[in-house]
Amino acid sequence: MTVGTQEQKARRARVDAAVKLAAENRWEEAITANQELIDLFGPEVSALNRLGKAYLELGRYSQSREAYSRALELDPGNQIARKNLERLANLEVDQEAPHARSGVDPSLFVEETGKTAVVELLRLASPDVLGRVTAGDRVDLKAEGRALMVVSAEGERLGQVEPKLGLRLINFINGGNRYEAAVISIDGGHARVIIRETFQHPSQYGKVSFPPTQAAEAGFRGYIKGSVIHYETDEDEELYDESDYGTETETETEDIVDEHETADEDDHA
């Protein structure tokens, strides 16, 4: 075996270890692993992007900016570095507060028609709030009247589930169903989350959370193909198929939006 081949195998093993650490949310160790890769084999875009990701997950925003900036210097066309720098531009350095993000069970992302949906949020939070979450973060569902909101692990409101689906899920939750949710992507004024039914109450037997109907009018996509936690791929990649869900009227939808807008105005009064 040549020296070059041995070096390639050693590098590949270290890359695999670094990716595995990230998949397990072991961010401090991921920082060490990626920094060692850079020290041993020189700076490269993938390692710098992974380093930026690990710092971002720990809330160490200035170091994350530095890593992504170095990646962009090496490859000015790299969209992963560019998108994350745009996200970080909305965060102030003095907002830094090292923390561990809430890990997500990979089974949440397993395709299962009728039990899983990817939704695009409405009424998004401000860019600085959205900038503190990233793909793979666990989020919570919170009913506010007839509106279903998505909130971060820290309790910050991120956005609203499309009204028809939101009302449908509120009714199921009130009936005893349970759901989990996680962030799919935060990008350029768009935020997507995946929602999965994890428990169906006996009283809801035979009722499908996300029935596939009339995809052309869908406010969400029905399920995904494979994993949504892509460590070095573009978050805009199409990962899911289309489907629809409910039968509530347009009037009900408008009432839900109007009701929530009124509540927001009252909150700021």
Check residues 25 and 81 and name the one with the higher pLDDT: 81
Q: Which of 95, 125, 152 is the last residue of a domain?
A: 95
Mean pLDDT of 9-19: 89
pLDDT at 93: 53
Rounded to a whole number of angstroms, the CA Rg of the chain reads 21
62 lies in the same domain as 112: no
In a domain, 61, yes or no: yes
Residue 101, in any domain of the structure: no
Q: Which of 117, 106, 169 is nearest to 142 (CA)?
A: 169
Residue-wise pLDDT for 112-122, tens only, equals 678 888 899 99
Whether 150 and 199 share a structural domain: yes
110 pLDDT above the threshold of 90: no
For residue 60, the model assigns a pLDDT of: 87
% of the chain residues with pLDDT over 70: 68
For Cα atoms 78, 238, 177, give the angle at the middle one, nearest 5 degrees. Answer: 125
Q: Are residues 87 and 117 in the same domain?
A: no
**Do 247 and 127 have their domain in common?**
yes
Q: Provide mean pLDDT across the span 40-45.
A: 91
Residues 6+ apart with CB under 8 A from 204: 172, 175, 176, 177
Give the pLDDT band (50/70/90) at residue 219. Answer: very low
- The two tokens of residue 151 are 């909130």
Question: Do residues 204 and 226 both lie within one domain?
Answer: yes
Domain of 199, in residue numbers: 106-267
Domain finish residue from 62, 95, 128: 95
CATH code at position 52: 1.25.40.10
Q: Report residue 250's pLDDT band, with 50, 70 and 90 as the boundaries.
A: very low
Do residues 65 and 173 both lie within one domain?
Answer: no
Task: Work out the pLDDT band at 49, boundaries 50, 70, 90.
Answer: very high
Is position 248 within any domain? yes
Task: Give the pLDDT confidence score for residue 213 in this predicted structure.
Answer: 54
pLDDT tens column, 145-191 = 999 999 988 888 999 999 999 999 999 999 999 999 988 887 767 89
**Geometric angle at alpha carbon 185, from 265 and 190, rounded to 5°:** 45
Q: What is the predicted pLDDT for the residue at 259?
A: 54
What's the pLDDT score for residue 149? Answer: 97
* Contact predicate 153/101, CB 8 Å: yes
Spatial distance between the Cα atoms of 82 and 85, rounded to a whole number of angstroms: 5
pLDDT of residue 268: 47
Band (pLDDT 50/70/90 cuts) for residue 80 is confident
Which has more confidence, 44 or 107? 44
